[in-house]
């Protein structure tokens, strides 16, 4: 009898530990806390209203205004959570890199739960050492520089602010290429192969600390400040020439 009691007690004690160790189950509860108000129960998304701040969110509520997460796999969840893009402070705003308040374990648990909602892409494993810097430069110039500038310092487009890539890890760069977050286009493996992606990642890593041999970087933020500097030097020289000519005319 005593032995049976001990076995039962151990089973009761071990069951919560086993449940807590299940990342999908932990992610399920985290999803109910942080994600369900926008992406709805089971990640199916909807056109309903978001849950108000004063209401308790449960997995049974069929509300949300975010897109479906079914089939996005670990790829999208890992990117949006590790960059701080999600959860959004306010619905409708552009996702931006922010401080990540979730722990490493919570991110892995949420990613595991989202991945369990349906078959989807796994995390990319970029290997920039296999890429070519020159090829990456040409690919980035052709596919990415229109929004992020050729030095990956971010820029301006209609309705959005493409972010600088100085804080993006190689994995996050690869994830963004495959996902196409916010207004960024999605590039499949037919558009950009894994080997080409390795070259792009290698160039982005280089652009974080470029070799400014023989030049003045001016913050690596592109032609606008360079234009201001040109105008400043040009106008100063023009004024100086006018002053010299004026003095000579007065003497004459």
Neighbour count for residue 186 (Cβ, 10 Å): 11
pLDDT digits (tens, 9 = 90+) for 89-128: 877 788 899 999 999 999 999 999 999 999 999 999 999 9
CB 197 within 8 A of CB 140: no
The CATH code that applies to domain 128-217 is: 1.10.760.10
Q: Hey, where are the domains in the chain?
A: 18-115, 128-217
- Give this prediction's pTM: 0.72
pLDDT digits (tens, 9 = 90+) for 195-230: 999 999 999 999 998 776 655 556 665 555 556 666
Same fold, 18-115 and 128-217: yes
We find that the CATH architecture of domain 18-115 is: Orthogonal Bundle (1.10)
Cα atoms in the Cβ-side hemisphere of radius 13 Å centred on 125: 1
Q: What DSSP assignment string belongs to 132-153? A: -HHHHHHHHHHHTHHHHTTTT-
130 three-state secondary structure: helix
């Amino acid at each position: 009898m005593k032995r049976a009691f001990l076995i039962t007690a151990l089973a009761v004690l071990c069951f919560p530990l086993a449940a807590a160790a299940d990342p999908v189950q932990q992610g399920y509860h985290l999803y109910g806390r942080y994600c369900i108000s926008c992406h709805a129960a089971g990640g199916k998304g909807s056109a309903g209203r978001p849950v108000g701040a004063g209401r308790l969110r449960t997995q049974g509520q069929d509300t949300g205004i975010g897109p479906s997460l079914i089939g996005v796999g670990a790829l999208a969840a890992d990117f949006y959570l590790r960059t701080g893009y999600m959860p959004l402070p306010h619905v409708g705003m552009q996702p931006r890199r922010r401080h990540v308040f979730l722990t490493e374990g919570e991110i892995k648990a949420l990613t595991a739960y989202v991945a369990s909602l349906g078959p989807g892409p796994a995390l990319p494993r970029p290997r920039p050492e296999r890429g070519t810097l020159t090829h990456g430069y040409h690919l980035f110039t052709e596919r990415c520089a229109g929004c992020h500038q050729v030095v990956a310092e971010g820029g301006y487009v209609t309705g959005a602010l493409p972010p600088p890539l100085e804080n993006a890890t190689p994995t996050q760069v690869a994830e963004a290429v495959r996902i196409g977050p916010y207004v960024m286009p999605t590039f499949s493996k037919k558009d950009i192969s894994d080997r080409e992606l390795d070259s792009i990642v290698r160039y982005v890593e280089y652009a974080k600390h470029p070799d400014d041999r023989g030049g003045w970087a001016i913050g690596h933020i592109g032609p606008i400040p360079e234009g201001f500097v040109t105008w400043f030097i040009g106008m100063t020289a023009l004024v100086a020439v006018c002053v010299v000519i004026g003095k000579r005319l007065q003497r004459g």
